[in-house]
Structure 1
């Protein structure tokens, strides 16, 4: 717990976390407001207006990566390792802290967006209620996605150790790399839905209704998508741990 508190103090001793959290709130609530108001909310489908929360996940990954790379940039990681010689404990503390914060941020952002869109939409195409498991999953699933994405971001930050490189990888991976891979004939359409970030989208994707038009056919279901995304995070974290112990600070 002491190491977690130390990491928490280090994380919030700069302005960047506050700016990132504000940007996440703006993205999430902005999308909810937009789709809740346009044409009396006729496009207010949870899968669509919660895209703003998905955008917030990218912002949170940047925050999580910077929590690692800025220590390498300013050399404070050496002091951290002098105070805690067992490097796995340091990496574990950073990962747990950012995953916990990410889970809370993702959950709160999704719930706030959902209820904001519900309050604004006068004529939504589907009932905006949280009555069934499928309806809850589309909202609370963002908590799990944020937490796992934080593990991936910490791992990439530890592996790369440079802010620009880590941020570029985390932003280009879901937006460019996976999208381009899915365009490969034959292989892309079969493998593409199983790539980590594409699979993570299945965690919050509806299984019935109009929003299915926005989901490609095939690929994993919600549970399989969660396992693929979590498995990727665990694999990257183990690689990061191995490199952390082998390389100089």
Structure 2
């Protein structure tokens, strides 16, 4: 078993050229980081190494496999230290509502504060997770794009089954609208208007709308011990 949180002060370097592992979800090549410690050499894929710094990534489609990995990482980081913040970096076009709700509910359930940072895009369920971060710690990078809209779906089968599915998606829509009201401070009428069709926001517009609290071009300076081990979670 790899000791992710060893006490030795390591010397970190990237592995030799051509040393990669494969992301189990995207199939992309992931660089390997090698650390030299007093106990010898240890290697990590880059995401595992960043997990040591309490950094979690939500990238690509939000679906059940990804949600399982994200929730497991959040619960693990809580078990390691329930008081240090976690940074969640989001670059996602959205995805399955139930998978996103699993991540959302875990973010709210655990004790550590979760800072959300949008890089690239946070659309649909991605924007919902961005808004659900700790108040005051929801960040967008300057060229990030945020998109909100109502949930979509389809149904086939008997008329009564289609009616049941229609009622369910309307319940989901209402629940998400209510949560957007909570997280943004906008009125329900404003949320319903924005969610009725695809609404694209630049970083500054997302801040005015209440989805994020700040737009950062560069990382702010750490302010003492609270930033230690927080993945650079901005305060």
- Greater fraction helix: 1
Greater RCO, 1 or 2 (C-alpha within 8 Å, sep 6+): 1
Same topology, TM > 0.5: no
TM band (smaller chain): under 0.3
TM-score scaled by length of structure 1: 0.24
- Greater fraction strand: 2
